[in-house]
A = this chain, B = another copy of it.
């Protein structure tokens, strides 16, 4: 293998590929990135047990190709090395089958590689009829749901995000059993088979870092136990979590006795300040009291003191309810709208947050019973 390539072109693809590398992987070959120079261009591949990524740098983006070939090279080092080289032409050459020479005019790195035959075969074939979403939409879906997934590995399914498709309706749900985020999207075609899969949340975060916030196509190829994303020249394969995601439709009430609309920013700032006097120990509990066209948010810490925040609201409803300020802040922050509306029934029933400006998103926070 021997070729010449611009530093910034190689670096961008290396960054993307390296997201599939976990430096603590026990299998040495899986801490590496496979370089494979073919007629189509340079394929960079990496894989851990969770994610596989393959990026193609097409032939026309390579300055000069002298000899096809392949090698696997330590992922951590090669990214750092290319990053620190100036943005100039870099010559990359394999010597003796297991050494990689990376050179510019004044610099020569001579790196120990591994024969690429040892690298596992990644099955990155797509399906015939992928689902196509716009990249800025999938980024929004991730940012509006991921935070509600569980960090607790004792219920692995809840660390994932649930994607359900029925006809042309896609529902995306995340919950840690104390709060829930649900985003509904209409696809541009009707699917014959319904789909119900759970994608590991952290893998979607990695995908989120690779795709741009633009209006490009992202293809979703769904299989029995894996999902393949295709974005430009990048293939991103994630395993799926196995098991049945809890049914959540019955959790969201249909009728509400109490309803109050208020400024998204105003509510966020009130709760943010009130949460200053709360602690993780007591679940950051704050109290909301509604009545006489006034909403009062308060919290009380015997050691530090107490705080009371007031806001005029256009509602005659009355309620007194307590909840986690942290969860409520996450939920409010997920709306990119001017106003949000809180829907409640009593101090024991879920709080629903919606916005008339964006009916695709529903957030739910369970109240905390205080005595």
Contact string, A52-83, partner B, CB cutoff 8 A, digits 1/0? Answer: 00000000000000000000001001001100
Cross-interface CB contact of A276 among B81, B276, B309, B310, cutoff 8 Å: B81
CB neighbours (8 Å) of A110 from chain B are 305-308
Residue A256 lies at the interface, judged by CB distance under 8 Å to chain B: no
Contact B81 A269 (CB under 8 A): no
- Within residues 286 to 305 of chain A, which ones have a CB less than 8 A from any CB in chain B? 303-305
Contact B85 A276 (CB under 8 A): no
Tell me the minimal C-beta distance from A288 to chain B in angstroms. 15
Contact A276 B307 (CB under 8 A): no
Contact A277 B309 (CB under 8 A): no
Contact B307 A85 (CB under 8 A): no
Contact B304 A111 (CB under 8 A): yes
CB neighbours (8 Å) of A309 from chain B are 106-108
Contact A269 B111 (CB under 8 A): no
Residue A168 lies at the interface, judged by CB distance under 8 Å to chain B: no
Residue A2 lies at the interface, judged by CB distance under 8 Å to chain B: no
CB neighbours (8 Å) of A336 from chain B are none
A272 to B86 alpha-carbon distance, docked (Å) = 12
CB neighbours (8 Å) of A99 from chain B are 305
A84 to B329 alpha-carbon distance, docked (Å) = 14
Residue A25 lies at the interface, judged by CB distance under 8 Å to chain B: no
CB neighbours (8 Å) of A170 from chain B are none
**Known contacts A106-B311, A311-B106: A81-B273 contact under CB 8 Å:** yes
A181 to B152 alpha-carbon distance, docked (Å) = 49
Residue A112 lies at the interface, judged by CB distance under 8 Å to chain B: yes
**Known contacts A74-B304, A304-B74: A273-B84 contact under CB 8 Å:** yes
- Give the interface of A toward B (CB within 8 A): 74, 77, 80-81, 84-86, 99-100, 106-112, 269-270, 272-273, 276-277, 303-311
Pick 14 A–B contacts, CB within 8 A, sort by A. Answer: A74-B304, A81-B273, A85-B273, A86-B269, A106-B309, A106-B310, A107-B273, A107-B309, A109-B277, A109-B305, A109-B306, A110-B307, A111-B305, A112-B304
